[in-house]
A and B are shown apart, each in its own frame.
Chain A
Amino acid sequence: MSETEQPTNDQKKNFTRVLLEELSSQSVLIPILAVITGLIIGAFIIILTTEEVYEAWATSPWESIKVGWSAVNNAYTALFTSAIGSPTRIINALQSGDSLEIRRAFNPFLESLVASTPYIFAGLSVALGFRSGLFNVGAEGQLFMGAIFAAFVGYSVKGLPMIIHLPLALLAGALGGAIWGFIPGWLKAKTGGHEVINTIMLNYIAFRLSEWLLSGPMKRPETFNPVSPTIEESAMLPRFFENPIRFHAGFFVALGVAWLVYWFLFRTKWGFDLRTVGANPHAARYAGMNIVWVTILAMSLSGALSGLAGANEVLGVNHNLALAFSAGYGFDAIALALLGKSHPFGVVLAALLFGTLRSGALGMQLAAGIPIDIISVLQALILAFIAAPAIIRTIYRLKPSASGEDGVMLRGWGEG
Chain B
Amino acid sequence: MATTTLQTTNGVYVSPTRQRVMGILFLVIAFAIWGFFGRTTPSGETTTFGLTPGGIESTVGDWEIPALATMNILAMISAVFGGIQLARGFGKRTNAVLGIVAAFFIFSFLTWAAAGKSLNLAGLLNSSLSKAVPITLGALSGLLCERAGVVNIAIEGMMLAGAMMGALIASLTDNLWLGVLAAVLTGALLSVVHAIFSIKYMIDQIISGTVINIFSVGITSYISAKFLQEYQELNNPGIFRPWPVPVLSDIPVIGPIVFNNNMFVYAMFAFLIIIHVALFYTRWGLRLRSVGEHPRAADTLGINVFRTRYMAVILGGMMAGFGGAYFTLGSVGRFDEVMTAGRGFIGLAAMIFGNWKPFGSFGAGLLFGFADSLASKLAILGVNIPSQFLLMAPYVATMIVLAGVVGRGQVPAADGQPYVKE
Interface residues of A in 192-210 (CB under 8 A from B): 192-194, 196-198, 200-202, 204-205, 208-209
- The answer to whether A297 has its CB under 8 Å from any CB of chain B is no
**Bound state CA distance, A49 and B168, in angstroms?**
15
Looking at the complex, which one of A45, A135, A200, A376 makes contact with B214 (CB distance below 8 Å)? A376
B325 to chain A, nearest CB (A): 21
Is there contact, CB below 8 Å, between A334 and B416? no
Q: A331-B214, A373-B225, A413-B151 are in contact. Are A197 and B352 (CB under 8 A)?
A: yes
Q: Which residues of A contact B153 (CB under 8 A)?
A: 137, 196, 200
Instruction: Give Cα distance in the complex from A415 to B37, angstroms.
Output: 42
From B1, B206, B214, B404, give the contact of A335 (CB < 8 A).
B214
A377 CB within 8 Å of chain B: yes
Residue of B1, B197, B205, B388 near A415 (CB, 8 A) is B1
**Count, A-B residue pairs, CB within 8 A:** 157
A414, CB-defined interface residue at 8 Å: yes
Interface 9-mer from B39-47, B54-62, B296-304, B407-415: B407-415
Q: How large is the interface on B (under 10, 10 to 19, 20 to 34, 35 or more residues)?
A: 35 or more
Chain A binding surface SS class = helix
Q: Does A387 contact B (CB under 8 A)?
A: yes
Which residues of B216-256 are within 8 A (CB) of A?
217-219, 221-223, 225-227
Are A414 and B414 also in contact (CB < 8 A) when A377-B218, A384-B197 are? yes
Contact B204 A191 (CB under 8 A): no
- The residues in B between 174 and 218 inclusive whose CB is less than 8 angstroms from any CB of A are 197, 201-208, 210-215, 217-218
Contacting pair A191 B215 (CB below 8 A):
no
Binding stretch for chain A, among B8-16, B313-321, B342-350: B342-350
Which of the candidate stretches B23-31, B81-89, B114-122, B393-401 sits at the interface with the other chain?
Answer: B393-401
Closest chain B residue, CB of each to CB of A191: B403
Q: How far is the CA of A215 from the CA of B399 in the complex (A)?
A: 25
Assembly CA distance A221 to B416 (angstroms): 48
Q: A216 near B: Cβ within 8 Å? A: yes
Chain B, 346-398, CB within 8 A of any chain A CB:
348-349, 352, 386, 388-389, 391-392, 395-396, 398
Contact among A211, A335, A413 for B417, CB-based, below 8 A:
A413
**A201 x B223 contact (CB < 8 A):** no
Contact pick for B349, options A201, A334, A374, A378, CB 8 Å:
A201
Looking across the interface, which residue of chain B has its beta carbon closest to that of A391? B201
Closest chain B CB from A293 CB (angstroms): 19
**A409 — which chain B residues lie within 8 A by C-beta?**
202, 204
Is the pair A215, B415 in contact by a Cβ cutoff of 8 Å?
no
Does the CB pair A196–B206 fall under 8 Å?
A: yes
Q: With A and B bound together, what is the CA distance between A45 and B227 in angstroms?
A: 14
Does the CB pair A332–B402 fall under 8 Å?
Answer: no
Minimum CB–CB distance from A152 to chain B (whole Å) comes to: 17
Q: Is the CB of B208 within 8 A of A49?
A: no
Residue of A nearest to B151 (CB): A413
**At the interface, yes or no: A32 with Cβ under 8 Å from chain B?**
no
Q: Is A416 an interface residue (CB 8 A)?
A: yes
- Would A212 and B389 be within 8 Å (CB), given that A371-B226, A387-B197, A414-B1 are in contact? yes
Q: Verify B221–A371 contact, CB threshold 8 A.
A: yes
- Are A416 and B215 also in contact (CB < 8 A) when A137-B206, A384-B197 are? no
B393 to chain A, nearest CB (A): 10
Chain A residues with CB under 8 Å of B227's CB are 49
Chain B residues within an 8 Å CB radius of A380: 211-212, 214-215, 218
Residue among B212, B223, B345, B392 with most chain A CB within 10 A: B392
Are B392 and A208 in contact, with the CB atoms below 8 A? Answer: yes
Q: Which residues of B contact A332 (CB under 8 A)?
A: 214
Contact B396 A205 (CB under 8 A): yes
B123-159 residues at the A interface, CB under 8 angstroms:
151, 153
Cβ of A193: which chain B residues have Cβ within 8 Å of it?
399, 402-404
Select one of B208, B348, B398, B415 contacting A387, CB under 8 A: B208
In the complex the two chains form, what is the Cα distance from A205 to B225 in whole Å?
Answer: 29
Minimum Cβ distance to chain B for residue A148 (Å): 13
The complex places the Cα of A336 from the Cα of B202 at a distance, in Å, of 20
Q: Mark out the residues of chain A between 393 and 416 whose CB falls within 8 Å of any chain B CB in the assembled complex.
A: 407-410, 412-416
In the bound complex, do residue A331 and residue B352 qualify as a contact, i.e. CB atoms below 8 Å apart?
no
Whether the Cβ atoms of A412 and B389 lie closer than 8 Å is no
Interface size on A, residues (CB 8 A): 55
A17 CA / B48 CA spacing, docked (Å): 79
* Chain A: minimal CB distance from B261 (Å): 27
Check A414 against B218 for contact (C-beta < 8 Å): no
In the assembled complex, which residues on chain A have CB atoms less than 8 Å from the CB atom of B201? 388, 390-391, 407
Q: Are B392 and A374 in contact (CB under 8 A)?
A: no
Flag if B415 contacts A414 (CB, 8 Å).
Answer: yes
**Which chain A residue has the least Cβ–Cβ distance from B222?**
A373
Q: Which residues of B contact A388 (CB under 8 A)?
A: 197, 201, 203
Chain A 305-336 interface 0/1 with B at a Cβ cutoff of 8 Å (1 = within): 00000000000000000000000100110110
* Min CB–CB distance B342 → chain A (angstroms): 6
Q: A201-B349, A212-B386, A388-B203 are in contact. Are A334 and B402 (CB under 8 A)?
A: no
- Within 8 Å by CB of B396, from A187, A201, A383, lies A201
| Interchain CA distance A401-B354 in the complex, whole Å | 43
Is A375 an interface residue, CB under 8 A from the partner? Answer: yes
Q: In the complex, which residue of chain B has the Cβ closest to the Cβ of A388?
A: B201
A338 at interface by CB-CB < 8 Å? yes
Q: How far is the CB of A371 from chain B (nearest CB, A)?
A: 4
| In the complex, A276 has a CB within 8 A of chain B | no
Across the interface, which residues of B come within 8 angstroms of A381, CB to CB?
215
Taking a contact as CB atoms under 8 Å apart, the answer to whether B1 and A192 are in contact is yes
Asked whether A204 lies within 8 Å of B392 as measured between CB atoms, the reply is yes
Identify the B interface with A (CB < 8 A). 1, 151, 153, 197, 201-208, 210-215, 217-219, 221-223, 225-227, 342, 345, 348-349, 352, 386, 388-389, 391-392, 395-396, 398-399, 402-404, 411-417
* Interchain residue pairs A-B with the least CB separation, the first 10: A376-B218, A413-B416, A380-B215, A371-B225, A373-B221, A212-B388, A377-B218, A201-B395, A193-B402, A380-B214
**A interface, CB within 8 angstroms of B:** 45, 49, 135, 137, 187, 191-194, 196-198, 200-202, 204-205, 208-209, 211-212, 215-216, 328, 331-332, 334-335, 338, 370-371, 373-381, 383-384, 387-388, 390-391, 407-410, 412-416
